[in-house]
Structure 1
Amino acid sequence: MDQSPFSRRDFIQRFGTAALVAPSLAGLGGLYGCGNKSSESSAESATSTTSATGSERKLGVALVGLGLYSEGQLAPALEKTKSCRLAGVVTGTPDKAQKWKEKYNIPDKNVYNYQTFDQIADNPDIDIVYVVLPNSMHAEYTIRAAKAGKHVICEKPMALTSADCQKMIDACKQANKKLSIGYRLHFEPHNQEMMRLGQQEVMGKVNKIIAQNAQKQENDTPWRLGGGVGGGGPLRDVGIYCLQGAIYTKGQVPIAVTAKLHPVTDPEKFSKVEEGVDFQLQFADGSVADCKTSYNDKYNQLRAEAAKGWFELSPAYQYDGLKGETSQGKMDIENVPQQARQMDAFANCILTDTPTTVPGEMGMRDVQLIEAIFQAAKTGTKVSTKDVLQVLDPTPKARA
């Protein structure tokens, strides 16, 4: 993990935190995320996480890190969930703790800081720990949560190294707890439609995918630029959506990657992380995915070009306002609360004891591919993924 002159509490107080293959599609209107069994179980009438009422029980979620993503997305989403609820928070900032306690009626016993975090093991109100910390802190808090006997959702990217990913997977398995990665777009109908169209070859074989995601990054979240505890950069942060989108649209894991870093136009801002990177995923059937990401531009697209037409999302990866179109016309698909669907799906996996479709193995696969992309960019050579991938989880399969 990155070494930092700041303590976790200093980092959180000074900067705040920010967040940021296998969904079975049984129709675009339902919940997705559990394997084999239905995840439609409703828990609307449940009010306590301590009552043993089977699938009628709402599971308690504790958010670890109260930065922009927790505040702006996850907490509001938890007010819309059917199978889980906001039960606790973990923060190093007393003012934030007080604010959240008052706003969400969280009892004192369910509020933790980073020194008291491990005491969460003694709290039956909390079933799920959601790790929403800077990337370099994901591994530590996922492992500690598992050791505390809690199921875990970890934000993407899963960790900075595949070795850390394996430790996280092992810790959750040893504790007999489920681990899910925060891949919200697997539960979003526009992206699910891209999976269906691509994997079922509705318009013929997909020959080329274009996946692009970039944002103008400033110093409001310094860890993204390598400050504080570090672990940022556009490839890990927003480029991972391109990697994911290409794989779940094609329904295949690439066999090789090539990559090239963008020229640095602002040496001060991009002294610790890449400014951007172009990378290509090459698949076994000869098709490719041309991807690019940057912290100094704006684009947001997922496009597939097939033998008999094309289909795309633009924007593709945002929290809301996604739009889709095909060579046959516009996609008439409603935007939904993505994070609520994601968390409900995981809660239902726990309640029904079924596997999540966005497991730690998928997160590890993506970190291994990111490592391969950096290796390809550094060496200027094609990197075979068979030499990189230690985990080949099932490729994402869509069905009608």
Structure 2
Amino acid sequence: MHSRRDFLQKLTATAFTIPLVSTVVPEVFAERTNLYQNEKVLKVALMGLGSYANRVADAMRDCKRAKITGVISGTPSKIKDWQGRFNIPDKNCYNYENFDAIKDNPDIDAVYIITPNALHHPQALRVAAAGKHVICEKPMSINAQEGREMIEVCKKAGVHLLIGYRMHFEANTLEIVRMRREGELGTIRFFQGLSGFKIGDPTQWRLNRELAGGGAMMDIGIYAINGARYMVGEEPIWVTAQEVKTDPVKFREGVDETITFQLGFPSGAIASCLSTYNMNYLDKFYLNGDKGFAEMQPSTGYGPIRSWTHKGRLDLPHVTHQTTQMDEMAAIILDGKKAIIPVDGEEGWKDMVIIDAIFESIRTGKKEEITYV
């Protein structure tokens, strides 16, 4: 079985190499040193112990500010295995029926929800009701309405809601965003985002509309949407979209196989993007301005990210994305740090607003305005 996780790992591991022209070390590396000055550690329970949770857990072994202290799973054998690997006591282990009891557990500050997409909304509401901070994998929900409710419930409960946008802390990404913000690329005119791979096992939950809320768009296409926003530095105001389906058996009604979509921004910049479960080797961002360009390929895989601009190669030092993400999120929750590229609930909600508009454009065959209300 081939999954997105396998694809991203293999793609980045076998990325082609171009001779290094120049290396720029962004300020983010200096800033990360400050994370370790405060010894307070975020105590995290992982909910859903699948392949990505294992990746997060392994990465967190190197965290300075975040530690796994609990687990939540519907599979007792997984819990037993994780207890042995991460020295988790029985009192910090829960299932999906009883995890509301974390309310009375001081060993858990936050819960990282890594379950199928359709479960994010109800589980986040329960975690917030228990008074714990919510870290939720993307997409945060299956539509914008659910995302908005998650934001409001967490706000009312006085807890943080953060979305697992690991690329928002990645060095190459941050350097290109810095260049764009400081005018080194000039006026931004165009963005291209290509996100896709050929999915395997047709029985997996990612091809189940009830659990996934869609198909490729919810899984891999959201990288192109989110990337368009932070690379261009604006929120899109219109979208046109087209769907192509070559295998209606594997990709049933409501499960998208391939979608191309175009975004328009207030400045006049445009984006052209592709989301697919039927083509391999698609992990590329390209940003064009009237003074320069930036390109990344791979752009969102697990690393190392390869990047270059009109000034030469970047290819900044690789740190495991989930390690950086969890340390930075700990600083956001514990210290009130502000992320350079936001990872809060509003950030996740805007992606859902755009996804809703993409699906609506496919339904109507028309250009759809995007409104963030």
Shift of the alpha carbon at 1:374?
0.8
Any idea what SS the aligned residue of 1:375 has? helix
Partner residue of 2:110 out of 113, 125, 128: 128
| Change in 2 beyond 3 A, CA 1:385/1:229 | closer
The answer (yes or no) to whether the contact 1:18–1:134 under 8 Å persists in 2 is no
The answer (yes or no) to whether the contact 2:191–2:286 under 8 Å persists in 1 is yes
Any idea what SS the aligned residue of 1:168 has? helix
Any idea what SS the aligned residue of 2:323 has? helix
Shift of the alpha carbon at 1:365?
0.9
What CA deviation, in whole Å up to 9, does each residue of 1:96-126 have, x standing for no partner?
1111011111111111111111111111000
Aligned to 1:336: 319
Any idea what SS the aligned residue of 1:358 has? coil
Aligned to 1:40: 34
What CA deviation, in whole Å up to 9, does each residue of 1:343-389 have, x standing for no partner?
11121122223455311011111101110111111111111113xx1
The answer (yes or no) to whether the contact 1:146–1:171 under 8 Å persists in 2 is yes
Partner residue of 1:352 out of 331, 335, 340: 335
Shift of the alpha carbon at 1:255?
1.4
Aligned to 2:169: 187
Aligned to 1:29: 29
Q: Structure 2: which amino acid aligns with 1:310? A: F
Q: Structure 2: which amino acid aligns with 1:240? A: I
| Change in 2 beyond 3 A, CA 1:221/1:197 | farther
1:82 aligns with 2:67: no
| Change in 2 beyond 3 A, CA 1:369/1:17 | closer
| Change in 2 beyond 3 A, CA 1:311/1:229 | closer
The structure where helix makes up a greater share of residues is 2
The answer (yes or no) to whether the contact 2:262–2:271 under 8 Å persists in 1 is yes
Matches within 5 A, 1:1-400: 27-30=27-30, 40-42=34-36, 55-71=38-54, 73-219=55-201, 222-226=204-208, 229-262=211-244, 264-272=245-253, 273-298=255-280, 299-354=282-337, 357-386=342-371, 389-390=372-373
Shift of the alpha carbon at 1:229?
2.9
| Change in 2 beyond 3 A, CA 1:339/1:88 | same
Q: Structure 2: which amino acid aligns with 1:376? A: S
| Change in 2 beyond 3 A, CA 1:310/1:354 | closer
| Change in 2 beyond 3 A, CA 1:180/1:254 | same
The answer (yes or no) to whether the contact 1:31–1:341 under 8 Å persists in 2 is no
Shift of the alpha carbon at 1:220?
7.3
Determine what percentage of the aligned residue pairs are the same residue. Answer: 39
| Change in 2 beyond 3 A, CA 1:220/1:344 | farther
Q: Structure 2: which amino acid aligns with 1:368? A: V
TM-score, reference length from structure 2? 0.89
Give unmatched runs, 5+ long, in structure 2: 9-24
Aligned to 2:15: none
Shift of the alpha carbon at 1:221?
7.0
The answer (yes or no) to whether the contact 2:113–2:137 under 8 Å persists in 1 is yes
Please identify, of 273-282 and 345-354, the stretch whose mean Cα deviation from structure 2 is larger. 345-354
Q: Structure 1: which amino acid aligns with 2:350? A: R
What CA deviation, in whole Å up to 9, does each residue of 1:167-213 have, x standing for no partner?
11111111111110111100001111221223333122121111111
Any idea what SS the aligned residue of 2:252 has? coil
Please identify, of 303-312 and 345-354, the stretch whose mean Cα deviation from structure 2 is larger. 345-354
Shift of the alpha carbon at 1:17?
12
CA distance in 2, matches of 1:29, 1:172: 31
What CA deviation, in whole Å up to 9, does each residue of 1:322-350 have, x standing for no partner?
10012232114111121111111121122
Shift of the alpha carbon at 1:320?
1.2
Q: Structure 1: which amino acid aligns with 2:348? A: G
CA distance in 2, matches of 1:189, 1:78: 18
Aligned to 2:18: none
Shift of the alpha carbon at 1:309?
2.7
Q: Kindly report the root-mean-square deviation, in angstroms, between the aligned alpha carbons of the 2 structures.
A: 2.2
Q: Structure 1: which amino acid aligns with 2:169? A: F
What CA deviation, in whole Å up to 9, does each residue of 1:21-53 have, x standing for no partner?
xxxx97131457xxxxxx82326xxxxxxxxxx
| Change in 2 beyond 3 A, CA 1:315/1:42 | same
The answer (yes or no) to whether the contact 1:199–1:250 under 8 Å persists in 2 is no
The answer (yes or no) to whether the contact 1:247–1:254 under 8 Å persists in 2 is yes
CA distance in 2, matches of 1:333, 1:355: 22
Give unmatched runs, 5+ long, in structure 1: 1-15, 33-38, 44-54, 391-400
| Change in 2 beyond 3 A, CA 1:192/1:207 | same
Shift of the alpha carbon at 1:293?
0.8
Shift of the alpha carbon at 1:18?
8.1
Any idea what SS the aligned residue of 2:246 has? coil
Any idea what SS the aligned residue of 2:299 has? coil
Structure 1 runs of 4+ with >4 Å offset = 16-20
